[in-house]
Structure 1
Amino acid sequence: MSDAPIEPQEWSFGVKVVQIEDIRVARGLTRRPRTSCRHRKMVYDEKERRVWCSDCETEVEAFDAFIYLVEHYGAAVSKLNRRAEELAQAEKFQLRSRAAKAMDDAWRSTTMAPLCPHCNNAIMPEDVVGGLASTSKEFVRAERKRKADLKNK
């Protein structure tokens, strides 16, 4: 026989009961199980200072009500921002489309050719097939403004 001391085993003293709720709280979760109701129809009572759900008629915790409002507000703001971006892109595209449509209509004429608004030279479709040179819009606007100021003097 061995002279090693006998170490008692936990199972020999009976079943050790572990509370699942204690483990959930230790992990940062709540003791209360989530219900199937998402509490989308919340009602608030100023006199009793409470929030409750009209669907399941249970009291809603203030933090849960606050989280629902924040999520709802955040979704609405992001939807408005997305809509504003879509409108801005549509306005830019529409302006470009109008100019392209006007040029296309002018080039479709079989007897007439559009003229450059600045030098009054004809612009033919074959002139732009190989690509166009480009410059800064700010530079062009500044040059036009300078010429208009010189003309007004």
Structure 2
Amino acid sequence: MSDAPIEPQDYIYGVKVVQIEDLRVARGLTRRPASSCRHKQLVYDQGERRVWCQDCEAEVEAFDAFVGIVEVFSAGMSKLNTRRRELAEAEQFQIRSRAAKVMDEAWRSTKMAPLCPHCMTAILPEDVAGGVAKTSKSLVVAARKRKQTNPTS
């Protein structure tokens, strides 16, 4: 509701004719009745400096035309933001490790299977589908260093 005060009417000289439109505007409502046309086909006439609807051939106020343009652009921006969010989420779940990419490419082969670099046995996708056993990297690195310094053991 509008904060504009409604002017009091004085009836000293009889009843004055009150324009309903003026009261509606004072209360924050519009003078014009709502139209069933959404004014999607706007024509901007620069010569006459007016905007009119090609569908209903009614003149459209500049503010209403501006609001229509802003609605189209804000809908487009919301679609772009949604797409940007979806792409960021997809990038988060993308495989980033080079080793995982190499294994994935090796498992895509229909005739060959990757081998374990230590025991030279085939590693199939079913072997790791349920999870893999884990150990400390520092323990493995230390064991490999010991093995390199003492090749006899």
User: TM-score w.r.t. structure 1 length?
Assistant: 0.53
Q: Where does residue 22 of structure 2 map in the other structure?
A: 22
Q: Where does residue 149 of structure 2 map in the other structure?
A: none
Q: Structure 1 85/112 Cα, relative in aligned 2: closer, same or farther at 3 Å?
A: closer
* 1:131 Cα deviation from its structure 2 partner: 8.3
Matches of residues 131-150 of structure 1 in structure 2 within 5 Å?
none
Measured in 1, the distance between the counterparts of 2:116 and 2:39 equals 65
* 1:21 Cα deviation from its structure 2 partner: 2.2
Measured in 2, the distance between the counterparts of 1:63 and 1:48 equals 17
* SS of structure 2 residue aligned to 1:43: strand
Q: What runs of 5+ residues in structure 1 fail to find an aligned partner? A: 1-13, 106-110, 134-153
* SS of structure 2 residue aligned to 1:72: helix
* 1:29 Cα deviation from its structure 2 partner: 1.1
Measured in 1, the distance between the counterparts of 2:49 and 2:88 equals 44
* 1:95 Cα deviation from its structure 2 partner: 2.2
Q: Where does residue 5 of structure 2 map in the other structure?
A: none
**AA aligned opposite 2:59:** E
- Could you say which structure has the greater relative contact order, defined with CA pairs below 8 angstroms and 6 or more residues apart? 2
Q: Where does residue 85 of structure 2 map in the other structure?
A: 85
Measured in 2, the distance between the counterparts of 1:24 and 1:132 equals 77
Percent of aligned pairs sharing the same letter: 60
* Equivalent pairs, count: 111
* 1:41 Cα deviation from its structure 2 partner: 0.5
Matches of residues 9-88 of structure 1 in structure 2 within 5 Å?
19-88=19-88
* SS of structure 2 residue aligned to 1:32: coil
RMSD: 4.2
* SS of structure 1 residue aligned to 2:30: coil
**AA aligned opposite 1:53:** C
Q: Structure 1 112/84 Cα, relative in aligned 2: closer, same or farther at 3 Å?
A: closer
* 1:84 Cα deviation from its structure 2 partner: 1.6
Q: What runs of 5+ residues in structure 2 fail to find an aligned partner? A: 1-13, 108-112, 120-126, 137-153
* 1:129 Cα deviation from its structure 2 partner: 6.2
* SS of structure 2 residue aligned to 1:95: coil
Q: Which has the higher helix share?
A: 1
